[in-house]
Chain A
């Protein structure tokens, strides 16, 4: 007899369902449903008490309506009433309604709990099961509070029926998941674990889910389950296919339970007890052996069940990762499955191999299947399987096969399913970076990635390639050439334009020698893409253009023409218009020096975790456009102005990476702090630097301040931290300069403008110019807080003998600086005779009642008064010989602090103020300079020779610096100053 006879349905329900099914349209269906809802509502509200049969019928109708996706907002009360019925039929339908329609937040829970309580104590197993089901389905906290104490008792009581035990176990599991604090296993632990020994396989099946979950949370308390699970598993595995009767499924004894036992064992390390372990290994071997036996049935269910156990056994072997013999067998078995005709098995084999690939015992074994996996990636019909194949390739990738795997993944990308492209792109990008031996391969790979799947290349990927190119000088030229070539394609992806714009803007000069990629050709190429791009890309291109003006002065007029056109300068987009206006102005008013400082090459990014990996961790990647880049400077440079600190970081990073980047130099000295990199905070400084020339202050400021966060966060910090922040900075004794002031001084040896000092309150910017023996320095004091500084005074003093060497006059400064405002001070300097010390600048002011006091060294160094002297080789050596007295020469041999880069060295030596003489030294690697220091008392001629030695002993990069001048103190001082610069 069938369990459900087809004739016992309810007539009203059947008619209603048929009506719905015959509805010709959605509207008709809704109409019919609304009619029925109204009918049921009126029945429920009506005076006449409904009998159980009617209630059941209506509830069934409501369930059907609910299944069709219509909200049911009544009937809950009727369902609750059904729970207290004594009839199974009514009770059951009430519980069904509640389990489907009542969620854990319902207000009815209290009423439902009452009914459940009654049923649990009824001792009627059917009713108990219904009640337990209801708890498991709703699983609310109120229910846990009401029943968490009772259910373990039911579970372990000797007289509980098996079916009730099963329900109680899973019910308890559900409560444990929702409210672990309320389920206290303590006293029940051992009895629960012993359910693994229960006679009734159904009880074991239910209990094992509970025990697995509890073991995951409290492994120590439940560790006795390991030996019990092993012995249970052993009994199942060794039983004949008929022993377990109904639990034998298509000739496989208890497959579900076996899987669950193997899963439970995966919560623990391999058993310590030798006997238990031996028994388990035996089980695993038996399972592996059975896989090779001929099937007992041709039905797919038979092999399915057998393989379910096999895969779990393999998972356990991989989890233990301690039995090389089993691991190899597992790997071989999976290898067989990789070519199995069942798609499911191929899928699972690929998935398992992914975990196997991370085991040191089997990584090599997994790698032997690479061809099969690549083939799967190419030929599988099913995207799920292809995806697993891609995962496995990613997992098995190492240095030995990275090129092959990346190439295969790239070629797969061309036809890959849209759903997995982005993930594939990330994986290719990560592998390319992780296993890149030469960075030109890396650049090629990423550019290919953009070419093939540009739409799926997220910002992080192309940010990363730029970071790497900027940090690795050995790849910059190649990158410039490659992007230049890639941009030749008539239609290239916008991401390619972004990368191209950025890289050419930074390193276009490296390929400008070739007439085929002359500056103008580069510019025209970039500009031909301009109009097809979105606003952010155009903004980036405008930044690239202004960088071009700096790199290639010959493009200036062309680019200014472009910037000046209406489509730029009157662009309806505020950002573009602003950039056009400001860049145009900047290019026309700023001197070459200022331009070179503002538009300097980007400093290396601090070494850090790949931003692509970070993306996987949902972090924000670093900036791309120079403007975003600024944000970085701000993030890094908390206390000092960003530059100094970044220099340190990257110097360390560079030495760690053992491929020091020459541009690290730039940081330490020229770039880091100055106007560009420190911008968000230096924004206000910039305003003044350029204000004389009438740049729109606000505009420039806004442009350089990327998002709003920059100044806000700084301001927000200010007042709160006022007590804690400055102490390190404020020194008690005004005569003692800050410990870092020498360092600050060194930053300005080769440059005249930049940020001298910055803390949470105050920023001091400098702009200075020197002529002959005179100098003028503009100091800009910026209040970074929102609170005014009062009694702001500054004094400049020349300690000791400096008094007779330098004449320094400072004009008084405004005693009050409003929050966010900036004041300017002019200092006039006259060099009387040569000097070694620096004048001190003492600053005092009150901020929120607290007196702030700090002293810095003003970056006035002897070289500022250099007058460059051009001379021919012959003259140089003649003078060199003339200065042959021992005291006239100062020499230092020192290790390079920064990587050696000819261009950078040249720039620094020029910044020093001497003339850099070409074709003088017979060795082209060496640099020689000549200049005359102008003081009021005398002129001091100086000659300099710098000899880089890139391969000195032990691979260290060394310099030898020789300075000769007519005055011994000058030679000495110059040598000291310069030794810190390279």
Chain B
């Protein structure tokens, strides 16, 4: 079972947190910090698995993570999951985000938190994997998007706000943080060899 899915950036700022077991809000924040601490101090090009922090159950659980540009994607899973399988799942998740957001970057996750949650919900439910087929996931996301559009019909103004934000001067990260040059299937990312 997947116990938690966490996304945070290189500075430990959480960008998405989804817990499939109940923790208090304080503990959740501590788990995020602890996990960031564990993962961020690791070199690139070493293995993608490590034992979970104490708060999330210690060695009962494993942290399986990938580091893409500015973001860490961390899945905390118990022993019933295949480590390599989860790595693939992370890849599917990121590729899906990349397709849905067209060259996804950290800002997309920030400004479209609800969408990211929806996409994740198409893949993982209650800690178990619902669907691994990327086109199926994207189809669902598109369908929801269409429904939203037809209901709202207001789109123009906010779009400008977002682009304005995106062009703002953001000191702590490069402005254009594409996941890769050709969408996500790039071999030159740090976590791949």
Contact = CB atoms under 8 A, between A and B. Distances in A.
A100 B113 CA distance: 12
A67 B16 contact: yes
A35 to B, nearest CB: 19
B142 interface: yes
A347 B49 contact: yes
B159 A7 contact: yes
A26 interface: no
B174 interface: no
A341 to B, nearest CB: 8
B174 to A, nearest CB: 15
A312 B82 contact: yes
Contacts of B129: 205-206, 209, 256
B176 interface: no
Interface string B169-193: 0100000000000000101000011
B100 interface: yes
Interface in A238-287: 246-247, 249, 255-257, 259, 263
Contact of A384 (B51, B138, B160, B168): B51
Contacts of B85: 255-256, 259, 308
A275 to B, nearest CB: 28
A247 B25 CA distance: 37
Nearest to A303: B84
Contacts of B132: 205, 247, 249, 256-257
B177 to A, nearest CB: 14
B49 A170 contact: no
Contact of A170 (B22, B47, B130): B130
A8 B17 CA distance: 23
A348 B86 CA distance: 13
Nearest to B102: A2
Interface string B151-167: 11011111111110100
A209 B128 contact: yes
Contacts of A71: 25
Contacts of A87: 151
B40 interface: no
Nearest to B88: A305
Interface in A50-85: 53, 60, 63-64, 66-69, 71
B47 A346 contact: yes
A104 B19 CA distance: 13
B82 A4 contact: no
Interface string B34-54: 000000001101111111000
A976 interface: no
Secondary structure class of chain A's binding surface, majority of residues: helix
Contact of B49 (A60, A126, A307, A344): A344
Interface string A88-122: 11001100100010011000000000000000000
Contact of B161 (A9, A66, A89, A307): A9
Interface stretch (A11-19, A526-534, A669-677, A947-955): A11-19
Nearest to B150: A88
Interface stretch (A133-141, A187-195, A770-778, A931-939): A133-141
Contacts of B48: 344
A13 B157 contact: no
Interface centre among B29, B47, B80, B112, by most chain A C-beta atoms within 10 angstroms, is: B47
Given A8-B152, A17-B111, A163 B47 contact: no
A50 to B, nearest CB: 15
A126 B187 contact: no
Chain B interface size, as a band, is 35 or more
B56 interface: no
A173 B80 CA distance: 15
A762 to B, nearest CB: 50
A139 B88 contact: no
B60 interface: no
A113 B37 CA distance: 39
Nearest to B127: A174
B128 A14 contact: no
A1 B138 CA distance: 11
B136 A246 contact: yes
Interface string A168-196: 00110110000000000000000000000
A174 B113 contact: no
Contacts of A89: 147-148, 151-152
Interface string B90-127: 01100000011110000010111111011001000111
A147 interface: no
Provide the main secondary structure of the chain B interface: helix
B45 to A, nearest CB: 7
Between B42, B84, B158, B193, the greatest number of chain A beta carbons within 10 A of the residue's beta carbon is seen for B84
Nearest to A137: B126
A308 B49 CA distance: 14
B114 A63 contact: yes
Contact of A92 (B22, B92, B101, B144): B144
A166 interface: yes
A7 B158 contact: yes
A132 B130 CA distance: 12
B141 A6 contact: no
Given A67-B113, A89-B152, A6 B108 contact: yes
Nearest to B42: A382
B91 to A, nearest CB: 6
B138 A3 contact: yes
A202 B158 contact: no
B152 A53 contact: yes
B145 A3 contact: yes
Nearest to B115: A4
Contacts of B126: 136-137, 139, 170-171, 173-174
Given A136-B125, A166-B131, A206-B128, A384 B47 contact: yes
A300 interface: yes
Contacts of A67: 14-17, 113
A975 B71 CA distance: 87
Contacts of A7: 155-156, 158-160, 162-163
A381 interface: yes
Given A71-B25, A170-B126, A246-B133, A4 B140 contact: no
A301 B112 CA distance: 27
B193 A342 contact: yes
Contacts of B69: none
A305 B84 contact: yes
B138 A348 contact: no
Most central of B43, B132, B165 by chain A CB within 10 Å: B132
A29 to B, nearest CB: 11
B155 A11 contact: no
Contacts of B22: 103-104
A167 interface: yes
Interface string A132-158: 110011010000000000000000000
Given A171-B125, A256-B88, A382-B46, A126 B130 contact: no
B46 A307 contact: no
Given A89-B151, A304-B88, 4 more contacts: A13-B158, A137-B125, A305-B84, A381-B43
Q: Nearest 7 CB-CB pairs, A to B?
A: A7-B159, A136-B126, A308-B84, A382-B46, A174-B126, A3-B100, A343-B47
Interface of B: 14-18, 20, 22, 25, 29, 32, 42-43, 45-51, 80, 82-85, 87-89, 91-92, 99-102, 108, 110-115, 117-118, 121, 125-136, 138, 140-145, 147-149, 151-152, 154-163, 165, 168, 170, 185, 187, 192-193
20 contacts: A2-B101, A4-B141, A5-B145, A7-B155, A11-B161, A17-B165, A53-B154, A68-B14, A89-B151, A103-B22, A174-B127, A249-B88, A249-B92, A263-B80, A308-B82, A308-B85, A344-B83, A346-B47, A347-B47, A384-B46
Interface of A: 1-11, 13-15, 17-18, 21-22, 53, 60, 63-64, 66-69, 71, 87-89, 92-93, 96, 100, 103-104, 126, 132-133, 136-137, 139, 163, 166-167, 170-171, 173-174, 201-202, 205-206, 209, 212, 246-247, 249, 255-257, 259, 263, 298-301, 304-305, 307-308, 311-312, 341-344, 346-348, 381-385, 387
